[in-house]
Chains A and B, each alone.
Chain A
Amino acid sequence: MNATAEALFVAEPFQAAGDVVIDCTVNKIFYGDFLAVRDSVVPIEKKKITGFIGPSGCGKSTVLRSLNRMNDLISVFRFEGNVIYHGQDIYAKKVDPVVVRRYIGMVFQQPNPFSMSIFDNVAFGLRLNRFKGDIEERVERALQRAALWKEVKDKLKNSGLSLSGGQQQRLCIARAIATEPDVLLMDEPCSALDPIATRQVEELMLELKENYTLAMVTHNMQQATRVADTTAFFSVDISQGGRTGYLVEMGPTRQIFEDPREQLTKEYISGEFS
Chain B
Amino acid sequence: MSNLFQAANASGGVSGPPSAGEYATDRLFRGIALSSAFVIILLVAYILWELGREAAPAVGEYGLSFITGSTWNASKAQFSVLPEIWGTLYSSLLALVLGGAFGIAIAIFLTQDFINHRLATVFRTIVEMLAAIPSVVFGLWGIYVLIPLLKPGAEWLHQSLGWFPLFGTDLAGPGMAPAALVLAIMILPTVAAISVDAFRRIPYKVKEAAYGMGTTRWEAILKVMLPTASSGVLAALVLGFGRALGETMALAMLIGNSNQISLSLFSPANTLASLLASNFPEAGRVEVQALMYAALVLLAITFLVNVAGLAVQQYTIRKFEGKP
Residues from chain B with Cβ under 8 Å of A197 in the complex:
none
CB distance from B301 to the nearest CB of A (A): 31
A98, A100, A176 — most chain B CB neighbours (10 Å): A98
CA distance A172 to B213 in the complex (A): 10
- Are B216 and A112 in touch, CB under 8 angstroms? no
Closest-by-CB residue of A relative to B215 is A128
CA distance A99 to B215 in the complex (A): 9
Q: CB within 8 A of B322: which of A68, A101, A110, A158?
A: A158
CA distance A102 to B208 in the complex (A): 13
- For residue B53, CB closer than 8 A to chain A, the reply is no
Residues from chain A with Cβ under 8 Å of B323 in the complex:
161-162
- Are B208 and A125 in touch, CB under 8 angstroms? no
Using a Cβ–Cβ cut-off of 8 Å, how many residues does chain B contribute to the interface with A?
25
- For residue B228, CB closer than 8 A to chain A, the reply is yes
CB distance from A72 to the nearest CB of B (A): 8
Question: Which one of A49-57, A113-121, A242-250 contacts B?
Answer: A113-121
- Are A128 and B219 in touch, CB under 8 angstroms? yes
- Are B228 and A162 in touch, CB under 8 angstroms? no
Contact pattern, A 105-148, Cβ under 8 Å of B = 1, otherwise 0: 11010101111110000001100110000000000000000000
- Are B211 and A128 in touch, CB under 8 angstroms? no
Residues from chain A with Cβ under 8 Å of B203 in the complex:
112
Residues from chain B with Cβ under 8 Å of A73 in the complex:
207-208, 211
- Are B321 and A175 in touch, CB under 8 angstroms? no
- For residue B227, CB closer than 8 A to chain A, the reply is yes
- Are B223 and A124 in touch, CB under 8 angstroms? yes
Using a Cβ–Cβ cut-off of 8 Å, how many residues does chain A contribute to the interface with B?
32
Given contacts A116-B320, A161-B321, A162-B322, contact A99 B206 (CB under 8 A): no
CB distance from B215 to the nearest CB of A (A): 6
Contact pattern, A 39-73, Cβ under 8 Å of B = 1, otherwise 0: 00000000000000000000000000000101001
B212, B219, B224, B318 — most chain A CB neighbours (10 Å): B212
Contact pattern, B 59-94, Cβ under 8 Å of A = 1, otherwise 0: 000000000000000000000000000000000000
CB distance from B72 to the nearest CB of A (A): 48
- Are B214 and A101 in touch, CB under 8 angstroms? yes
CA distance A3 to B297 in the complex (A): 83
Q: CB within 8 A of B224: which of A98, A99, A114, A159?
A: A114
Residues from chain A with Cβ under 8 Å of B211 in the complex:
70, 73, 98, 101
- Are B319 and A125 in touch, CB under 8 angstroms? no
CA distance A156 to B277 in the complex (A): 53
Closest-by-CB residue of A relative to B320 is A115
- Are B205 and A98 in touch, CB under 8 angstroms? no
- For residue A251, CB closer than 8 A to chain B, the reply is no
- For residue A189, CB closer than 8 A to chain B, the reply is no
Give chain B interface residues in 191-247, CB to chain A under 8 Å.
Answer: 203, 205-216, 219, 223-224, 227-228, 230
Q: CB within 8 A of B209: which of A102, A113, A161?
A: A113
- For residue A160, CB closer than 8 A to chain B, the reply is yes
Closest-by-CB residue of A relative to B116 is A75
- Are B214 and A99 in touch, CB under 8 angstroms? yes
CA distance A112 to B206 in the complex (A): 6
- Are B322 and A112 in touch, CB under 8 angstroms? no
CB distance from B117 to the nearest CB of A (A): 10
Q: CB within 8 A of B320: which of A98, A100, A159?
A: A159
Between-chain CB contacts (< 8 Å), 22 pairs: A73-B211, A102-B214, A106-B212, A108-B212, A114-B206, A114-B209, A115-B230, A115-B320, A115-B321, A116-B227, A116-B320, A125-B214, A128-B215, A129-B214, A158-B322, A159-B318, A159-B319, A161-B321, A161-B322, A163-B322, A172-B209, A175-B213
- Give the interface of A toward B (CB within 8 A): 68, 70, 73, 98-103, 105-106, 108, 110, 112-117, 124-125, 128-129, 158-163, 172, 175-176
